[in-house]
């Protein structure tokens, strides 16, 4: 599919091993539907695609959606799979990420211009950068492997449950 097009309503790869190619074409393509039963989704380098609109892009069956071009995410990307950002990505207000794993790799630069509350696992490779805009918050609930830079005037909140030590009762001192 060329980036001058729009995928609305979704695509189902059916049985077997299936691949969806999101190619360039001089414009910005938009995905606003459910993508299911594709084991491979390729987005070409330097290609612009937006995941947005009123729909949800769903990555199921532990699949992977790898975005290597210029991408803007403005609605939901959901499912048990893995979203890999390996290009210049912007995640804006209204985006709702509920994929199992969000991976940032390949020298990616990710700008968070929306407040994100993420319950999956974030894996950030070295040589990448997450920029959190002023007044915005990136909250990570499950856990994170942050190996690149996290910059900006916004807040990063690591809310993953931590194992607590049992409370200790202070010893009382006895008068002598």
User: Model confidence over 54-77: pLDDT tens digits?
Assistant: 456 666 656 677 777 778 887 778
Per-residue tokens: 170: 């202070």
Does 100 score more than 70 pLDDT? yes
CA distances for 138 relative to 3, 38, 122, 145, 159, angstroms: 29, 29, 11, 14, 10
The pLDDT value given to residue 169: 43
pLDDT of 105 > 50? The answer is yes
pLDDT of residue 140: 93
Q: Which of 5, 102, 112, 94 is nearest to 55 (CA)?
A: 94
pLDDT of residue 59: 67
For the chain, the structural domain boundaries read 6-158
Give Rg (Cα) of the chain.
Answer: 20
- Write the CB contacts of 132 (distance below 8 Å, at least 6 apart in sequence): 112, 138, 150, 151, 152, 153, 154, 155, 156
107: Cβ–Cβ under 8 A, 6 or more apart, which residues? Answer: 86, 127, 128
pLDDT 10s digits, 133-143: 999 999 999 87
Identify which has the larger pLDDT, 18 or 43. 18
Owner of token pair 């612009």: 48
Q: Is the pTM of this model over 0.85?
A: no
With the CA atoms of 34, 37, 39 and 42 taken in that order, what torsion angle do they form, in degrees rounded to the nearest 10? -30
- Residues forming a β-bridge with 91: 73, 112
């Amino acid at each position: 599919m060329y980036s001058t097009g729009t995928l609305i309503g979704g695509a189902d790869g059916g049985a077997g091993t299936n691949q969806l190619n999101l190619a360039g074409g001089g414009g910005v393509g938009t995905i606003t539907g459910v993508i299911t039963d594709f084991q491979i989704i390729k987005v070409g380098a330097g290609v612009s695609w937006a995941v947005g609109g009123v729909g949800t892009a769903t990555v199921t069956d532990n699949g992977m959606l790898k975005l290597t071009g210029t991408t803007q995410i403005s609605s939901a990307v959901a499912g048990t799979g893995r979203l890999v950002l390996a290009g210049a990505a912007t995640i804006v207000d209204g985006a709702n990420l509920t994929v199992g794993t969000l991976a940032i790799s390949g020298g990616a630069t990710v700008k968070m211009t929306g407040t994100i509350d993420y319950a999956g696992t974030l894996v950030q490779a070295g040589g990448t950068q997450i920029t959190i805009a002023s007044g915005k918050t990136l909250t990570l609930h499950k856990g994170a492997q942050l190996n690149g830079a996290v910059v900006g005037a916004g807040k990063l909140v690591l809310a993953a449950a931590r194992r607590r030590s049992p409370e200790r009762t202070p010893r009382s001192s006895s008068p002598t």
